[in-house]
Amino acid sequence: MDGNLETSAPAPTAGTNKKKKRRAAGAAVAFAMLFSAGPALANVLIQNFMTAEFSAGPPPCLIKTAGEDVTSFPDGFGFDTATVTTVDGVDVTQESITINGVTGDRVTADEVFVIENNCTVPLDVSIGTGAAAGDWAGKHLEVWLGNPTNTGAYPTDVAPEDAQWDQAPLVFDPTGVTNAATGVVTIAAGDSVPVGMIVTTASAATGSGTATWVVQAETN
């Protein structure tokens, strides 16, 4: 014998080869089962069932009413609650305001209509989705949302009266709608805020334009 020892692994027996083959075959079968199970799970449908009863409830708790300017200046402002509009395929109430500008003058009103919260919770109220149609040549309209602290000051951006009004009025003028949404004012349950307007009419103005908007409220 020399100094190098060489050993060799014993030759595999027939029994050892059979075990390896059995293990390999078992792994292949398991893989095939997992692979075929994946698509089958995607076709399972589980359903839960519910029912809902939908009935007409009490009168609306967010309402709009005519303001004092409709009474004090009836030739300039009118308020009508008898109109309707179609939303989601059903007829809902749509209040309509009539504005007659004084030709060649600017009219400022502090309460054309009032937004009342007769709900039992505070509401975050805003006026938005302002849009205009028709003839707006020589006509300018601003719709101001009052703050709860409002005591009857005219709508303005000049201190200190500006604190009584949200400072983002809707603005309609001959160039189009330059501001289509007010900010948000929180109205406590049982409280209300006024909506004022600034109406400027050119001396040569004719025809009429239509302004539309949405008064919306969210619970907070």
- The mean per-residue pLDDT over the stretch 93-121 comes to 97
Q: How confident is the model at residue 25 (pLDDT cuts 50, 70, 90)?
A: very low
**At residue 11, does pLDDT exceed 70?**
no
Q: How confident is the model at residue 5 (pLDDT cuts 50, 70, 90)?
A: very low
Tokens of 120: 């039992």
Per-residue pLDDT of 122-143, as tens digits, reads 999 999 999 999 999 999 999 9
The contacts of residue 93 (CB under 8 Å, 6+ apart) are 60, 81, 83, 84
Cα angle, residue 194 at apex, residues 192 and 128 outer, rounded to 5°: 100
d(CA 109, CA 116): 18
d(CA 186, CA 167): 14
User: Mean pLDDT of all residues in the chain?
Assistant: 88
**At residue 166, does pLDDT exceed 80?**
yes
Task: DSSP letter for 146, please.
Answer: B
- pLDDT (0 to 100) of residue 26: 47
Sign of the dihedral through C-alpha 107, 108, 111, 113: positive
d(CA 145, CA 195): 5
- pLDDT (0 to 100) of residue 176: 95
Tokens of 61: 């708790």
The CB density around residue 24, as the number of other CB atoms within 10 Å, is 10
d(CA 161, CA 167): 11
Classify each residue of 201-218 as buried b or exposed e, where b means 16 or more C-beta atoms within 10 Å of its C-beta: beeebeeebebebebebe
* Contact present, 176 and 202 (Cβ < 8 Å): no
**At residue 28, does pLDDT exceed 70?**
no
- pLDDT (0 to 100) of residue 42: 74
Strand order in the sheet with 209-219: 185-187, 123-134, 209-219
- pLDDT (0 to 100) of residue 43: 87
The CB density around residue 7, as the number of other CB atoms within 10 Å, is 5
